[in-house]
């Protein structure tokens, strides 16, 4: 008979979201185990940028990126056929870091916090014995725990096992990513707007950038996607700097806008993309997961997951609003053209909206006058 694994909290999913939750749980003084089928470091196609609000939450987890290669950016720049507009963050700067390096940093910090981790681990449910609580086993070893956290991504098995699938999916797009060896030419994360989608360029080191393409329809190839953004292609081909060379192969993923009716049930709580997601256009996926981790850990320590359900809804509300707004720009070419012209003509509009996006200014503080001002500039752009 296999011996039981015993812990207070068991987390399925060892990506940044699951490890952030594990670290937060350990800071509450609880025992914690994490299991994942993959082998570290785990990679994923993403824009690889952490905005200042993300870094603030990491600081709350006692986490920093000292000793890891990163790039810096001071704000966001929109680039389109009608011109460009840039806005600085209200405070601080963002950091770009390869996803595998970020995962390595999380593993090191989790280990230092006393988190037990199981890699290449097969997690499965234990047949119900009449109890409403979900029970799991790892590699056929039963797990005795009070709480289970599902942080196992968009196709979460824990979400299915707990009966938390009910919800709504509003958008689904395709993202592909590749790295290029070239000195960053901008102090911003640049977002290039095209007719078929967006291209994101994030500095992730002194001599490297991450380029991510997101679209509703799959490009025939990464190069075919880049061709949709002539100004970006010129940078990479070496018009102003030596031509870039690729340093990794192309990696792709789906980006989904999904909202669940509930993220808690019985002894189970969902976190990260397992608990719902917003389109990658916001760049807020990791920040949301980190905030959820900080909200979930004290709820578990207090024995009341209802407070996490409420906090989760609040954490998701602004990114959800921003995602819907930016996807509207993606869908409506005329609105995108007017918005870019308005931002170029009146940079303070873009600056204010970026401050809302990173949480330094409440959306409600814009007020009717602020929204009317934005509407007037769009009408006259």
| Per-residue CA distances from 181 to 145, 200, 223, 314 (Å) | 46, 16, 16, 39
**For residues 69 and 205, is the Cβ–Cβ distance under 8 A?**
yes
Buried-exposed string 359-368: b where 16+ CB fall within 10 A, e elsewhere:
bebebeebee
Asked if 122 contacts 37 with a C-beta cutoff of 8 angstroms, the reply is yes
Q: How many CB atoms lie within 10 A of CB 328?
A: 12
Q: CA 218, CA 174: separation in Å to the nearest integer? A: 6
3-state secondary structure of 68: coil
Q: Is 285:254 a contact under the CB 8 Å cutoff?
A: no
How far is CA 48 from each of CA 119, 220, 246, 308, rounded to the nearest angstrom? 23, 23, 16, 27
Going by their DSSP bridges, the two strands 208-215 and 9-12 should be labelled as unpaired
List, for residues 218-246, the tens digit of each pLDDT value: 889 999 999 999 999 999 987 666 678 99
Residue given tokens 């694994």 in the structure block: 5
Read off the pTM: 0.91
Q: Report how far residue 305's alpha carbon sits from residue 126's, in angstroms, rounded to the nearest whole number.
A: 22
Question: Sign of the C-alpha dihedral, residues 251, 252, 258, 260?
Answer: negative
**Cα(106)–Cα(13) distance, integer angstroms:** 13
Q: Where in the chain is the domain with CATH 3.50.50.60?
A: 5-68+96-169+258-323
Helix (H, G, I), strand (E, B) or coil at 323: helix
**pLDDT value, residue 319:** 87
Q: 5-68+96-169+258-323 domain in CATH 3.50.50.60?
A: yes
41: cis peptide before it, omega within 30°?
A: yes
Which candidate, 280, 84, 80, 279, places its Cα nearest to that of 195?
80
CATH topology of domain 170-253: D-Amino Acid Oxidase; Chain A, domain 2 (3.30.9)
Whole-angstrom Cα Rg for the chain:
21
Q: Which of 359, 160, 109 is nearest to 270 (CA)?
A: 160
Read off φ and ψ for residue 137, nearest 5 degrees. -140, 150
- Give pLDDT tens digits for 66-122: 899 999 999 999 998 878 999 999 999 999 999 999 999 999 999 999 999 999 999
37: left (phi over 0), alpha (psi -120 to 50) or beta: alpha
* Whole-angstrom distance, CA of residue 114 vs CA of residue 24: 11
Specify whether the CB–CB gap between 191 and 79 falls below 8 A.
yes
H runs (alpha helix) in 117-264: 157-161, 222-226, 230-237
> How many C-beta neighbours within 10 Å does residue 154 have?
16
pLDDT in tens, the chain (381 residues): 457 899 999 999 999 999 999 999 999 999 999 999 999 999 998 889 999 999 999 999 998 898 999 999 999 999 988 789 999 999 999 999 999 999 999 999 999 999 999 999 999 999 876 667 899 999 999 999 999 999 999 999 999 999 999 999 887 899 999 999 999 999 999 999 998 899 999 999 999 999 999 998 888 999 999 999 999 999 998 766 667 899 999 999 999 889 999 999 999 999 999 999 998 888 888 999 999 999 999 999 999 999 999 999 999 998 888 888 888 888 888 888 888 888 888 888 888 888 888 887 776 665 544 544 555 444 444
Cα dihedral across residues 276, 282, 285, 290: positive or negative: negative
Indicate where the chain has its CATH 3.30.9.100 domain(s): 170-253
């Amino acid at each position: 008979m296999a011996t039981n694994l015993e812990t207070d909290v068991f987390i399925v999913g060892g990506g940044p979201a699951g490890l952030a939750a594990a670290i937060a749980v350990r800071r509450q003084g609880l025992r914690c185990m994490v299991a994942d089928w993959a082998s570290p470091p785990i990679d994923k196609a993403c824009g690889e940028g952490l905005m200042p609000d993300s870094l603030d939450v990491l600081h709350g987890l006692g986490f920093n990126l000292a000793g890891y290669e990163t790039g810096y950016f001071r704000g966001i720049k929109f680039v389109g056929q009608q011109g460009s507009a840039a806005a600085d963050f209200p405070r601080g700067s963002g950091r770009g870091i390869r996803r595998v390096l970020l995962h390595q940093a999380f593993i090191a910090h989790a280990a230092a916090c006393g988190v037990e981790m199981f890699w290449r681990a097969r997690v499965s449910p234990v047949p119900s014995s009449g109890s409403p609580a979900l029970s799991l086993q790892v590699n056929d070893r039963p797990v005795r725990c009070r709480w289970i956290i599902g942080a196992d991504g968009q196709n979460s098995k824990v979400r299915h096992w707990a009966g938390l699938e009910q919800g709504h999916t509003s958008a689904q797009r395709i993202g592909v990513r590749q790295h290029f060896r070239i000195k960053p030419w901008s102090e911003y994360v640049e977002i290039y707007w095209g007719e078929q989608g967006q291209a994101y360029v994030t500095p992730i080191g002194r001599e490297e950038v991450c380029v991510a393409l997101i679209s509703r329809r799959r490009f025939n190839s990464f190069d075919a996607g880049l061709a949709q953004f002539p100004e970006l292609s010129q940078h990479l081909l070496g018009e102003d700097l030596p031509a870039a060379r690729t340093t990794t192969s192309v990696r792709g993923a789906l980006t989904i806008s999904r909202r669940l009716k509930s993220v808690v049930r019985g002894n189970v709580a969902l976190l990260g993309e397992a608990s719902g997601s917003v389109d990658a256009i916001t760049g807020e996926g990791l920040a949301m997961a980190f905030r959820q981790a900080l909200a979930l850990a004290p709820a578990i320590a207090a024995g009341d997951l209802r407070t996490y359900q409420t906090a989760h809804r609040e954490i998701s509300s602004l990114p959800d609003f921003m995602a819907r707004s930016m996807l509207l720009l993606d869908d409506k070419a005329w609105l995108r053209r007017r918005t870019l012209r308005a931002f170029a003509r009146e940079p303070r509009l873009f600056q204010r909206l970026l401050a809302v996006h990173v949480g330094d200014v409440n959306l409600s503080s814009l007020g009717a006058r602020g929204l009317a001002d934005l509407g007037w500039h769009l009408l006259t752009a």
